[in-house]
Amino acid sequence: MSAKKIKNLWYLPAFLLLILFLFIGVLCTHETPPPEFTSHSEQTYNEADETADPNEKEPPLPHEHPAFRERAEERKEMIARQIQARDVNDPNVLRAMQIVPRHAFVRAREQSWAYDDHPLPIEFDQTISQPYIVAFMTQALQLKPDSKVLEIGTGSGYQAAVCAEIAKEVYTIEIVEGLAKIAKERLKKLGYKNVFVRAGDGYFGWPEKAPFDAIIGTAAAGRVPPPLIKQLKPGGRMILPVEGRLGFQHLVLITKDEKGNLHRRNVMPVRFVPMTGEVQKSEAEPKK
């Protein structure tokens, strides 16, 4: 073999190596990016996916008010640290807590603390409950898209809004007329068309709209008002704070079976503002 042919053979390995590098480069260029780098426009949100974690996907924003687009990251952190960390994992509840802007339900001077782990003062010397308590009580009701809910103690309207993100209709009663007016205007401004606010004594419930699939109370009574038990649908669930003889309060979960039998259990010690009105007249009677 001539020296010239031997010299030309040295280029063959170099040429093959170059082809190999080019082939690897093409493969890397078309590699599918990992999920964490997928753009938001490529993500889909499936409302039927009951196992979806609202912290992993951006929930839809069904409301036009700008408050729903504000401070979303703070709500994510609130859910992760305060709610999921305490075993509230109903995806419907987590989704609702992510959507509802708690800062829109408190006064301007308290908005900096809206997503902190504690209750806050609102108008007329009342309070908005701790986010975890709102989530816990909502989960206990096991709401469905066709549920009709009665709330006793509207307060700021925050709990009603959270329930309204899941249920079909929410009827809420507030005994402080001025507070009921503020909550009604706030909920209307935020776009909640399925929440109905009434100023009145929650002890009597809302009989013309009964029965209810779920009843939630946000003020403590010494006994469970009998009208509320009557207005609870068979198969329904009720949760509310009840104060015992020594002043200690517990959240009480009441379920009514299909035969109308009641089942009651204490689920958590709490501290709520007292329920006023008719319930105070019967405090001396035996507790149910």
- List, by residue number, the catalytic residues: 129
Residue 120: strand pairing partners? 128
As given in the structure block, the two tokens for residue 185 are 């205007």
Q: How far is CA 132 from CA 46, 49, 119, 178, 218, in A?
A: 25, 23, 10, 26, 14
Are 270 and 218 in contact by the 8 Å Cβ rule? The answer is no
Distances 140 to 239, 254, 261, 270 between C-alpha atoms, Å: 7, 10, 19, 15
Task: Please work out, in degrees rounded to the nearest 5, the angle formed at the alpha carbon of residue 115 by the alpha carbons of 114 and 117.
Answer: 110
CA distance 55 to 72: 10
**Paired strand residues for 243:** 249
Tokens 């708690």, residue located = 102
- Please give the DSSP secondary-structure letter assigned to residue 220: B
**Rounded to whole angstroms, how far apart are CA atoms 238 and 215?**
5
Say whether 74 sits in a helix, a strand or coil: helix
